[in-house]
Amino acid sequence: MSNITIEDYKRAIRAKYKIATAEDVSGILSNPKPAEIRNFYFRIFEKGVGKIDTEIMEIFFETRESFPLKRAIENCNTGKLKPIISFLQGGNTENGPRIEMAAILVDFKPRPFRNFEDNKGISEENKTIEDLNGSEQFILEVEKAEEVEKVEKVEKGEDQNGKQALLKDNLVNTVPSGKSIRERFNNKVKLTIAGISIVFCLGFLISYYLYPKKQCMQWTGDHYEKVDCVQEVKSLVGFNSIKSFEEQQFELKKIEVCDTTTYLKNGQPIIWYGKINNKVDFFNIDGWNPINGKQLRPVTDHIFNKYKEDCQSKNRKK
């Protein structure tokens, strides 16, 4: 039975992110911004992605038959990408599509998690060890250079009472060997990994058993409500009305509009609308129509005057 867990997978993705950041000549990954990450995904898509990556991206960007993946990426609300950035920089998430989207962003392999689990994490784990060994050699050289520089400064600052010679000997004797530096580096790495693992495990257990999170949302007719994610994304296929939680989209509400409703402020629309089968629904903020997933549009004089209701008749109905 495999001992590889989703936590191992997340740690490996973050390790790959550090490597990708060092190799990224554009500088986007070192200081990622949501809009730049959206463009980064678009370039990945344009270069061509495999079947599994395509399925992951279609789930994350919530595509439809009338709303293909390319268009979904171009029109993606950048706020949707902030949790991915947070995860790569050390934040936690249990959301399957976000984790897989992070893996795609840094080109972590093997992916998705089921492939990583089948391979026992060996491929990327070996790559990470190679990079740690390279870092160890670099640290060894830097520390030796620093100690030599200290000795040279002592020699130039020799005083009259002969204490300088003793100081020099002490410095030379305290210069650690290559073996001790390597052991110290390895111990630091092991302690750091162990500490991070313990913190993540404790945090997960506490949050899972004491503070269960509702990480999804569902449209209830005129607003979104937080709900538990009904099915865990493992196969990474399929779609239902329960969506990953998005803070901005969650604030979307369907509103009633009549002839006394204020729909402009300083000449700019403050109400948006969506149209399905010649029926118009009005909403309080910009976003995506929860029924068909299409981009909402700002209300115009024409739309408002054509579809507004009479306030007095509406009150009588009530």
Annotated domain spans of the chain: 6-120, 126-209, 252-317
pLDDT tens digit string along 238-292?
A: 334 678 888 888 999 999 888 888 999 998 999 999 998 888 999 999 988 988 8
- Is residue 122 very low, low, confident or very high in pLDDT (cuts 50, 70, 90)? low
- Integer CA distances (angstroms), 217 to 4, 95, 103, 229, 242, in order: 30, 13, 24, 8, 6
CB-based burial, 80-97: b 16+ in 10 Å, e otherwise: bbbbbbebbeeeebebbb
Percentage of the residues of the chain whose pLDDT score is greater than 70: 70
Burial degree of 288 (CB within 10 A; 0-12, 13-18, 19+): buried
Predicted pLDDT at 97: 92
Does residue 38 register a pLDDT over 60? yes
Contact assessment for residue 224 and residue 218, using Cβ atoms and an 8 Å cutoff: yes
The helix or strand, by DSSP H or E, that contains position 282, with its residue range, turns out to be strand 279-283
Question: Is the bond into 212 cis (omega within 30 degrees of 0)?
Answer: no
Mapping DSSP to helix (H, G, I), strand (E, B) and coil, where does residue 126 land? helix
What's the distance, CA 179 to chain centroid?
Answer: 39
**Mean pLDDT throughout 129-155?**
50
Show Cβ contacts of residue 40 under 8 Å, excluding neighbours closer than 6 positions: 28, 105
CA dist., res. 288 & res. 286, Å (int): 7
CB-based contacts of 204: which residues, under 8 Å, 6+ apart? 7, 92
**Gap between the Cα atoms of 245 and 218, Å rounded:** 9
Say how many Å lie between the first and final Cα of the chain, rounded: 63
Provide the 10 A C-beta neighbour count for residue 249: 21
pLDDT, average across residues 76-91: 92
Q: Is residue 172 predicted with pLDDT exceeding 50?
A: no
Residues 201-215 pLDDT 10s: 777 666 655 555 567
Q: Is the pLDDT at 123 greater than 70, yes or no?
A: no
Give the lowest-confidence range in 182-191, 228-237, 283-292: 228-237
Across 148-157, 163-172, 218-227, 238-247, least confident range: 163-172
Q: Specify the higher pLDDT residue, 60 or 162.
A: 60
Using 50, 70 and 90 to split pLDDT, how confident is the model at 157? Answer: low
Give the least confident one: 52-61, 105-114, 220-229. Answer: 220-229
Bridge partner residues of 244 (DSSP)? 216
Whole-number average pLDDT of the chain: 77
The pair of three-digit structure tokens given for residue 124, joined into one six-digit string: 């990327």
